Amino acid sequence: MIKLAAPIAASLSISAVPALADEHQTSEAPAAKQTIMPSSERGRTMFEEFGFSEAVIHDGTVYLSGVIVGPPREGQTEAEVYDRAFEYLGFVLERAGSSWDDALDITTFHVDIEQSMPALSAAKDKVIKAPFPAWTAIDIDRLFAEDGLVEIKIVARVTPVAEEGS
């Protein structure tokens, strides 16, 4: 398991649930935003306490909250930590009706960009294929989690539904 900030670590225990099954939905307007929240009570409580969603869907676009990656735990490799982060992000994309093929933009925040970029890039390359999304990598002083190394934020489109007869 990757070491993530408390909000994200709590959400890793979620199970597959209908993506839009939460009271934060609005159906008044066709372009109303929909939110994805953790299904576990612990994860949901933390997200509600800090006032954010795992993802928001609006006008065919999915905005994922950042996932903070911490240092490898004993017995883990750096590669495993980043692979697990991308696995989790892929799970949230799936719950939001999207996929890695629909990724439009990746923003990564690094406390040590030179150190983290090789392993992060290798993990990204396992799930992101051409045509590539935009990617902005930013070096910063620190993340919300004191021992956080990288935060990964994704924007994707909702996967287009194939029309009948196509």
Distance between CA 83 and CA 124 in Å, rounded?
A: 8
Q: pTM of the entire structure?
A: 0.78
CB contact at 8 A, 54 and 47: yes
Q: What is the pLDDT of residue 13?
A: 33
Distances in Å between the Cα of 34 and the Cα atoms of 18, 108, 125, 134 are: 12, 24, 29, 24
CA 11 remoteness from chain centre: 11
Q: What is the pLDDT of residue 31?
A: 73
**Which pLDDT score is estimated for 17?**
36
Task: Tell me what pLDDT residue 28 has.
Answer: 53
Per-residue pLDDT, 141: 96
Give CA–CA dist 136/124, Å, rounded: 13
Distance CA 136, CA 125 (A): 15
Beta bridge pairs of residue 139: 110
Query: Residues with Cβ < 8 Å from 114, sequence gap 6 or more?
Result: none
Each of the 166 residues of the chain gets a pLDDT tens digit; together they read: 234 443 344 333 333 333 444 445 545 555 788 999 988 888 889 899 999 999 999 999 999 999 999 999 999 999 999 999 999 999 999 999 999 999 999 999 999 999 999 999 999 999 999 999 999 999 999 999 999 999 999 999 999 887 555 5
Superfamily of domain 6-157: RutC-like (3.30.1330.40)
So what's the pLDDT on residue 1?
A: 29
Query: Which pLDDT score, from 0 to 100, does residue 16 have?
Result: 33
Largest CA distance in the chain: 53
pLDDT of residue 165: 56
